[in-house]
Chains A and B, each alone.
Chain A
Amino acid sequence: MPKVNRRDFMRLMGLGTIGGAVFMSSGASAMPGKKETGDFYFLQLTDTHWGFSDPKVNPDFKGTLLKAVRQVNALKLQPDFIMFTGDLTHTTEDAAERKRRLLEFREVIKHLKVKRLMFIPGEHDASLDNGAVFKEVFGPTHYSFEHRGVHFLALDNVSDPSGSLGEAQLNWLGGELKKLDADARIVVFTHRPLFDLYPQWEWATPDGAKALELLAPFNNVTVFYGHIHQINAHVTGRIQHFSSKGLMYPLPAPGSQPKRAPVPWNPAIPYRGMGFRQVQTDLKDGEYVITETPLHRG
């Protein structure tokens, strides 16, 4: 299974020879367990858009999430936790329906063997009510936690419909980072990219630069995000940014067509462009081994 670690990644980025595809793996087997104490792996699942119902884009809109759940359950070694990076549900203007979708989503993922599940919202979940219903169902939209020596920061850049983090959250982030030393291992989760990937499609965070400024003094920062329904790898300073495939429909490459309309379903290649991500730590070297796992076709 192709692996790229932080050193390789930085080198390849420097040479300008890397594409998102380098990270893709056709294998769907579990990550081999590392013997070093402390090492672990987690999953990132994103953009499940529960409630989406256009069969031209995904005729299996009711079954795709459960299919992902089954595929995760089949992993030989189960992850320590799963982080869902937003757009758990597809948007609706009806607050009662929004809540129903979030609750249904939660019912489906109850089938996961892994019980440590974490969530941040996407704009579809939270932008129309500033995160009110999401908070009711899943709790805070930004928070921090620590796991085996890694500091995780989950950020909310969707509850404000402009996609901004806002001063209050930036102050909170600054406070969290004050507790850490420069070599701390920091993993950030967001829905939208913190850098300007393609602002014309809102693939950016208006005040994301302020967050990156706060993170800049740290030597080991990796951001995992969703929103763009495809793999993308990017570096700002010393910070690495990785977006993941989604689990309802793929979106076109940034700026590759006039509109960011979903890529239509291709019956010859069902579930194309959908998948999830495994992240294995290698704490001794301060690396992460990232494996992109496509959703099975069958």
Chain B
Amino acid sequence: MRRLTKVVGAALLAVLIGAGQQGMGAQGAERTVRIVAKKFEYQPNLIKLKRGEPVVLQFVSADRLHGFSCPGLNIRATIEPGKATTVRVVPDKVGVFPFHCDLFCGEGHDEMTGNIAVSDEP
């Protein structure tokens, strides 16, 4: 029992440290960015990341099947309704990388786009 408490305590501590540092760097408490896909947009459609900082992208759909493809950072996900899809990313280059929906989803499919902006740590 004591051991379990210790483990939970350690995990909680890691989360708190993570939160205290705005989710940067602390192992086991990587920053999570939640991205909602719906006809016909992503929220948010500008995702700001830091070079070298691991981040978990969590994709959910508000309506139907969508895709997420960011060729510049080699990120690809299938976003199914009722299910969160996560992709861990460690951006290794600075720049603005467009992403788009790559599973045809209807009339506004071509407008389902956004950008990932990767900057250097200050």
Contacts and interface: CB of A to CB of B under 8 A. Distances in A.
Interface string A89-102: 01111000000000
B67 A91 contact: no
Interface in A139-175: 158, 161-163
A84 B61 CA distance: 34
Contacts of B106: 91, 93, 128
B65 interface: yes
Given A162-B67, A200-B71, A258 B103 contact: no
Contacts of B109: 91
Nearest to B78: A162
Task: Specify the main secondary structure of chain A where it touches its partner.
Answer: loop
Contacts of B69: 199
Given A128-B106, A161-B105, A259-B111, A201 B67 contact: no
Interface residues of B, number: 16
Task: Specify the main secondary structure of chain B where it touches its partner.
Answer: mixed
A261 B113 CA distance: 12
B75 to A, nearest CB: 13
B111 A199 contact: no
A258 B71 contact: no
Contacts of A199: 69, 71
Given A199-B71, A200-B71, A200-B98, A259 B104 contact: no
A91 B111 CA distance: 14
A4 B15 CA distance: 66
Given A162-B67, A200-B98, A123 B104 contact: yes
B110 A261 contact: yes
A92 B104 CA distance: 12
B41 interface: no
B111 A128 contact: no
Nearest to A262: B110
Contacts of B67: 161-162
Report the 8 A-B pairs with minimum CB-CB distance, sorted nearest first: A127-B104, A123-B104, A161-B103, A161-B104, A199-B71, A93-B106, A162-B103, A91-B107
Given A200-B71, A259-B110, 12 more contacts: A91-B104, A91-B107, A92-B107, A93-B107, A158-B104, A161-B105, A163-B102, A163-B104, A199-B69, A258-B98, A259-B113, A260-B110
Interface of B: 65, 67, 69, 71, 98, 100, 102-107, 109-111, 113
8 contacts: A91-B106, A91-B109, A93-B106, A128-B106, A199-B69, A200-B100, A202-B102, A258-B113
